[in-house]
Amino acid sequence: MQTTSVTTMRPIESPMRRALRRFRRHRLAMFSVGVLLVIIVLAVGADFLQGYPPDKMSLGNASKPPSAEHWLGTDRIGRDMWSRLIHGGQVSLLIGLAATLISLSVGIVFGALSGFYGGWVDMVLQRLTDIVMAFPSIVLMMTLAVFTGPGLINVIVIIGAVSWTGVTRLVRAEFLAAKERVYVEAARCIGVDNLSIIFKHILPNTLAPVVAQAAFSVGLAILTEAGLSFLGLGVPLPTSTWGNMLEPARELQVLSNMPWMWMPPALLIVLTVLCVNFIGDGLRDALDPRTLL
Amino acid sequence: MKYLHVLLAVLVVVLVVAACTPAPTATPVPPTAAPKSTEAPKPTAVPATAAPVATAAPAATKAPEPTKAPEPTKAPAPTAAPAASAGGTLIGAFDVGPAGHPQSRPYDQTAGQTWLMKIWSPLLSFNDQFTGLVPQLALEWKPNADATKWTFKLRPNVKWHDGSAFTADDVKFTFELAYNPNFGWRNEPGLKGNLVGAQDYIDGKAKEITGIKITDPLTIEFSLMRSDAKLPYNLTIAYMLPKAVLKDQDPAKLAKSDWFLASPVGTGPFKIFKYVKDQYMDLVPNEYYWNGKPKLDHLINRYLADETAASIALEKGEIQFTYVANDVAARLKTNKAFTTFETPSYVPNYLAFNLRDKRLQDVRVRQAFWYAIDRASIVKEIFLGAAYVPVCGLPDKNMWPADANKYDYNPAKAQQLLKEANWNANDTLEIWTYYTAQNQKDAMQAVQQFLAQVGVKVTFKIMDTPAYNAQFYTGEGWPISYRGITILYGQSGRQPWWASDQTKDKKAWGAIEDPKVPEYILAAESALTDADYIKNMKLLCGVMNQNAYEIPLWVANRYGAVSVKAGNFLWVSSGSSSYEDKAQTWTIAP
Amino acid sequence: MTQYILRRLLVIVPVLLGVTIVVFILINLIPGDPAAFYVSPDLGSNPAQMEIVRERLGLNQPLPVRYVKWLAQTLTGDFGYRTKNGDPVGPVIWLRLQNTMLLAGIALFIGASIGITLGVFTAVRQYSVWDYALTAFSFLGIAMPAFVVGIFGLYVFALKIPLFPAGGISTIGKETSILDTLYHAILPAALLSLNYLASFMRYTRFSLLEVLKQDYVSNARAKGLRENRVINVHALRNALLPVITAIGLSLPSLVVGAVFMETIFSWPGMGTLYLDAVMSRDYPLIMGMNLISASVILLTNLLTDITYAYVDPRIRYS
């Protein structure tokens, strides 16, 4: 194989370093990291980059198109669109990350327990996974959203609660393979307890595919939030999120005559998800020992 | 992968440019704000009954001579009223809004009156200004001296869609079917609790309602337990059902029956020709209609998923009528192809205080809230002037006392009042609402900001109608609610203020315990003259205004737009009552 | 194999039961019931009206009783009646299902046919400008949510350049015809297909590139076969396997519907029906729709696995 000849010419490096090096060579992913960093800086530094506070209303200035004063115009109660856009970024990114954190934790724990213990634990957890997977995710989310009512935390929990199944299956498969390996056998022999074996020994070795998966689910979570908010089931007003900002476009007047009110959040959603997906691709390629880079 | 990032950058730029090019020339029209405050399903009808006895001489098979010759509509007549009366098809998205479903079940709350009254007729309805009543199936109605007995004279020569005669038997049958517990009448006009014998009938102790008496085939009497001078105003949605057709049906099955959608027999100007679920309901003229056979060949109610879709369909000529948001109406006003209608909604939107909450028991706090909200600016900027600011929860300006406090925007005064009342600036109040329309959301956010400016923190909790209904009426859990209630002339809307059987603690929703409130409402209801009625409503308005038991925010207008091809067309936002629209005179130019 | 299928089918039954129980409990925990939906606060409601409806709908019975009743009724093939308007649930779903299948079917067809074609096209021209452009497009297609695509599409192709109707399923006043329905379906379906198109294109490209690296392809080339033949006969057949799986896994959307596109284009499909059902707490409809979509998802999963085993003899299920 070609790979061998290439790698033997290099000094031995840690898997981490190697992944990093390979990731850096994925130019699209690196470019995306750059763009995403800009978006994150804008969102995190929103308080310093705004001309107006996001909730500052000025009824006399409602629905004004972009100007030097208001870079992206104003919304229908005269709030600064630029300020709302970057503050909306905070919330959208937060939801993306937090929901992913939830789905990853649930997914990893369930997958690990299921794969490691097998037997009835596996049986119960896998049937549970089956049940959740038997719902179309949007249907389940609409039902849950009506159930909990709108709310930032609610949206995060709903998205997290619906999207852990993929990770579970992934981790379970990795565990099934890993628990037969020699190092696990060795750990057992010296009397390491099960939990330590699961979390200290096996888990770190199975994380590579999960990391890439995590990047994709951040993108998915951002889209889901926007979708729920678009249907009026998401984060309650006056908090601005990109999905909330898009909702007025369901009205003809805004859609056809006030593009400054919906195009910027629409573009940012697409751009952010695009970047996150590219990064996910880069990570997957970088962490997968089989790909050539 | 060399060029991919360059391509991506180019693509993003292209996208941005592409995104910005469409409509840059478009005039920045003012923001949207649909004045539709009622999105929830509207209630329907109160079937009333009457027992047909042998009918007045079977009229000529042609349409019976109208009592009043169809006069040209008063309402904003389309500019070009086509003279041609030769049929044609008029398609619209009627009432319940484009968001609703065309339906024809007169006893359910799932359809709008605007459509129901095309197929069914009540005994009487509002006029198109909603200032008084006009005869429909009843010619005249009179109370006895203390308004405990009402006598209705029915219109002679009225025929059902199948050609049989309408009589007092049908009226009695309708009310008895309606009060049959198996049938489940959702929209009780406040008559049940007051009608002699109704409770016994409901409990199964009596075979008929003794309080409804047929004195001759065209005369029927209602006996009441207590005086109600405004009874007829509550009967505007009591659509009559045919006894001959329905008497052998099982009421329990009838409620779900497709009969109402497929081939119902009513007395309205039109009858159903075809109903395609989710798409449209097609009506054709009732040749027996008592006020003349309608001129249109077809009248179609099209189901469109939302207002945007309906507006687009209207402008593309796919439909000739829909109700529209106020900004769309503003735009269409200058368009010669359409005539627009503007009507008040009769739904004041208000902040209802829950006086169970100790923080709100101080009148100064409630008044401070009122002073703090710049209602005039919200009406101007968010409702684009398509609303007005009331002094109390009664939408009718004639019921406002001259000396009412207008509570003009005065943040300084608000802050001072709050200080006097020792308002705790760290308190957060939750405001419950079921409104989801975009302009309502904008208005709520504006209210929130105005209150924040005087140091009052509020958050809005937007619920869907079922969740709201399930929790609001207990009187618990909410300190303030942003809501609306239809209050029409003669319907004093007593529920919000004094009805006492609805909450867990047997108080009114907001627990208002001012004895003057029920006093004035009762006086208004038993007033036999309009002057007396209005006098008492003014007193009521004054009490509510002075004590700020609620903050009336605005009464939005509603808009409709119709193609100028339609002649004699009349539409009024009806909400909860039928009105006279003379649909039999409508025409459409090719 | 038969044994495997039987076992899988047996597992489906408890999962389906689980699904219906979860849904049933969930919807009954949501505040508000169908009775509360009927009464508009704007029109002045009162709890007594809600009680009438509650009684009529049998909502006063205890939860387990209602579930068992529902189950017994459903087992006889009767889904009951909508609480919202008394329509029978089965026919309502069937009607909406046809609309959704048309919309999603066209979208899936466009997505699969063009997506696979473009995937092959880009794979054989790897690193060409076309490859980059189309790959970038596919990333965009995946990152663009349906509501953004839908809004843009409506804005451009129905409002600014009015080529297509802006919503609905047929022109009113005309007899319903297949052509008319197709005319209404084409814009939302095309917009909906973008996502499918993008992902099938990526699958095909990726999978074909993998296959082209295999020894047997080199062999075929070494034999002196023309490149066309190598790709079409030898490589493509194997490369399409994962693509077929991906298409198979997309099949449930034919039943679930596309809520965003349906909302934007007023398409009376399953997505909007479900939204309506949840908002009006239409219990029988919610139950019926979930049961049907869950069954379809479970069966397509099974079918995909079986097909896979048939096509790829290396896979053994036991």
pLDDT per position as a tens digit, B398-421: 899 999 999 999 999 999 999 999
Which residues on B lie below 8 Å from C165 (Cβ)? 316, 318
Interface mutation target, options A58, A64, A77, A155, chain B, most CBs of B under 10 Å: A77
Averaged pLDDT for residues C289-318: 77
Domain annotation covers residue A7: no
Of C260, C290, C298, the CB nearest to A139: C290
Q: Rounded to the nearest 5°, which phi and psi values hold at B428?
A: -120, 130
Beta bridge partners of B270: B285
Which of C316, A49, C92, C209 shows the shortest CA–CA distance to B276?
Answer: C92
Nearby residues of A112 by Cβ (< 8 Å), 6 or more positions away: A171, A172, A175, A198, A199, A202, A203
Which residues on A lie below 8 Å from C159 (Cβ)? 255-256
Beta bridge partners of B93: B322
Q: Where are the alpha helices (DSSP H) in B247-393?
A: 251-254, 259-262, 307-315, 326-333, 363-372, 375-381
Interface mutation target, options B16, B17, B449, chain A, most CBs of A under 10 Å: B449
Which residue's structure tokens are 């050539």?
A: A292
Q: Which pLDDT tens digit goes with each residue over C195-219?
A: 899 989 988 888 888 887 777 777 7
* Dist. CA B389–CA B349, nearest whole Å: 10
Q: Which amino acid is at A182?
A: V
On whether the CB atoms of residues B466 and C33 are closer than 8 A, the answer is: yes
Q: What is the pLDDT of residue B14?
A: 42
CA of C171 to nearest chain A CA: how many angstroms apart? Answer: 20
Restricting to C residues 11-30, those with a Cβ less than 8 Å away from any Cβ of B are: 30
- Give the domain ranges of chain C: 32-78, 89-311
Averaged pLDDT for residues B211-232: 90
Average pLDDT, chain B: 79
C280 touches chain B (CB under 8 A): yes
Q: What is the pLDDT of residue C316?
A: 59
Average pLDDT, chain C: 82
Interface contact C38-B279, CB threshold 8 A = no
Of B184, B493, B499, the CB nearest to C53: B184
Domain annotation covers residue A274: yes
Q: Which pLDDT tens digit goes with each residue over B359-383?
A: 999 999 999 999 999 999 999 888 8
Averaged pLDDT for residues C68-72: 88
pLDDT at B109 over 70: no
Of A133, A255, A277, the CB nearest to C142: A277
On whether the CB atoms of residues C31 and B26 are closer than 8 A, the answer is: no
Element (H, E) at B535: helix B530-547
Q: What is the pLDDT of residue A246?
A: 85
Domain annotation covers residue A293: no
Which residues on B lie below 8 Å from C56 (Cβ)? 182, 184, 255
* Dist. CA B379–CA B381, nearest whole Å: 6
On whether the CB atoms of residues B35 and B330 are closer than 8 A, the answer is: no
* Dist. CA A66–CA A61, nearest whole Å: 12
Q: What is the pLDDT of residue B102?
A: 58
Q: Which pLDDT tens digit goes with each residue over B74-90?
A: 334 333 334 444 678 99
Of A77, A255, A266, the CB nearest to B445: A77
Q: What is the pLDDT of residue B71?
A: 38
Instruction: Give the A:B interface size as CB pairs under 8 Å.
Output: 122
Q: What is the pLDDT of residue A3?
A: 46
C40 touches chain B (CB under 8 A): yes
> Rg of chain A's alpha carbons, rounded to an integer?
23
In B354-417, which ranges are E strands?
387-388
Q: Where are the alpha helices (DSSP H) in B427-529?
A: 438-453, 465-472, 495-498, 516-525
| B28-42 burial code (b ≥16 CB/10 A, e <16) | ebbbbbbbbbbbbbb
**At CA B155, angle to CA B154 and CA B158, rounded to 5?**
120
On whether the CB atoms of residues A80 and A98 are closer than 8 A, the answer is: no
Q: Which pLDDT tens digit goes with each residue over A66-113?
A: 888 888 888 888 888 888 888 888 888 899 999 999 999 999 889 888
CA of B484 to nearest chain C CA: how many angstroms apart? Answer: 5
DSSP string for residues in A215-284: HHHHHHHHHHHHHHHHTT-SSPTTS--HHHHHGGGGSHHHHHH-GGGTHHHHHHHHHHHHHHHHHHHHHH
Q: What is the pLDDT of residue C45?
A: 58
Averaged pLDDT for residues C120-137: 85
C194 touches chain A (CB under 8 A): no
Q: What is the pLDDT of residue A9?
A: 56
Tokens for A21, please give them. Answer: 């090096």
Which residues on C lie below 8 Å from B502 (Cβ)? 46-47
Q: Which pLDDT tens digit goes with each residue over B538-588?
A: 999 999 999 999 999 999 888 889 999 998 998 887 667 888 989 999 999
Q: Which domain holds residue A140?
A: 32-47+72-287
pLDDT at C317 over 60: no
Q: What is the pLDDT of residue A8?
A: 52
Interface contact C278-A256, CB threshold 8 A = no
Domain annotation covers residue A132: yes
**Terminus-to-terminus CA distance in chain B, angstroms?**
61
Which of C94, C68, C95, C268 shows the shortest CA–CA distance to C167?
Answer: C268
Running DSSP on this structure, what letter comes out for residue B105? -
pLDDT at B242 over 90: yes
Q: What is the pLDDT confidence band of residue B37, given thresholds at 50, 70 and 90?
A: very low
Of B22, B24, B446, the CB nearest to A77: B446
Nearby residues of A227 by Cβ (< 8 Å), 6 or more positions away: A138, A234, A243, C145, C146, C147, C260
Which residues on A lie below 8 Å from B15 (Cβ)? 267, 270
Least confident piece of the model among A110-119, B241-250, B563-572: A110-119
Interface contact B460-A236, CB threshold 8 A = yes
Q: Left, alpha or beta for B294 (phi > 0: left; psi -120 to 50: alpha)?
A: beta
Of B2, B32, B436, the CB nearest to A251: B32
Q: Left, alpha or beta for B126 (phi > 0: left; psi -120 to 50: alpha)?
A: beta
Chain C neighbours (≥3 Cβ pairs under 8 A) are: A, B
A247 touches chain B (CB under 8 A): yes
Q: Left, alpha or beta for B415 (phi > 0: left; psi -120 to 50: alpha)?
A: alpha
Q: Which pLDDT tens digit goes with each residue over B11-26?
A: 344 434 443 433 333 3
On whether the CB atoms of residues B76 and B341 are closer than 8 A, the answer is: yes
* Dist. CA C211–CA C154, nearest whole Å: 40
On whether the CB atoms of residues B118 and B270 are closer than 8 A, the answer is: yes
CA of B502 to nearest chain C CA: how many angstroms apart? Answer: 6
Which of B96, B566, B567, B68 shows the shortest CA–CA distance to B306?
Answer: B96
Looking at residue A40, which CATH number applies to its domain?
1.10.3720.10
C278 touches chain A (CB under 8 A): yes
Q: Which residue of B has its CA nearest to C136?
A: B8
Q: Which residue of B has its CA nearest to C139?
A: B8
Q: What is the pLDDT of residue C174?
A: 60
Element (H, E) at A152: helix A152-162
Q: What is the pLDDT of residue B17?
A: 41
CA of B106 to nearest chain A CA: how many angstroms apart? Answer: 30
Which residues on C lie below 8 Å from B309 (Cβ)? 166-168, 265-266
Q: What is the pLDDT of residue C19?
A: 85
Q: What is the pLDDT of residue B409?
A: 93
* Dist. CA C75–CA C69, nearest whole Å: 10
**CATH code assigned to C89-311:** 1.10.3720.10
pLDDT at C293 over 50: yes
* Dist. CA C75–CA C88, nearest whole Å: 16
Element (H, E) at B94: none
Which residues on B lie below 8 Å from C261 (Cβ)? none
Of B2, B442, B462, the CB nearest to A236: B462
pLDDT at C256 over 50: yes
pLDDT at B135 over 90: yes
Q: What is the pLDDT of residue B45?
A: 34
Looking at the structure of chain A, the number of domains it has is 1
ipTM score assigned to the predicted complex: 0.79
Domain annotation covers residue A185: yes
* Dist. CA B178–CA B122, nearest whole Å: 14
Q: Which pLDDT tens digit goes with each residue over B52-62?
A: 333 333 333 33
Q: Which amino acid is at A115?
A: G
Tokens for B125, please give them. Answer: 């309805």
Tokens for B456, please give them. Answer: 């009052």
On whether the CB atoms of residues B360 and B353 are closer than 8 A, the answer is: yes
Q: Which pLDDT tens digit goes with each residue over B477-521?
A: 899 999 988 888 887 655 667 665 666 777 788 888 888 888 888
| B508-530 burial code (b ≥16 CB/10 A, e <16) | bbbbbebeebbebbbbbbbbeee
Q: Which amino acid is at B210?
A: T
Domain annotation covers residue A26: no
Q: Where are the alpha helices (DSSP H) in C213-251?
A: 215-222, 227-229, 236-250
- 3-state SS of chain B: helix, strand, coil percent to 5? 30, 20, 50
Integer CA distances (angstroms), C9 to C2, C299, C303, in order: 10, 8, 11
Average pLDDT, chain A: 82
Which residues on C lie below 8 Å from B4 (Cβ)? 132, 135-136
On whether the CB atoms of residues B105 and B178 are closer than 8 A, the answer is: no
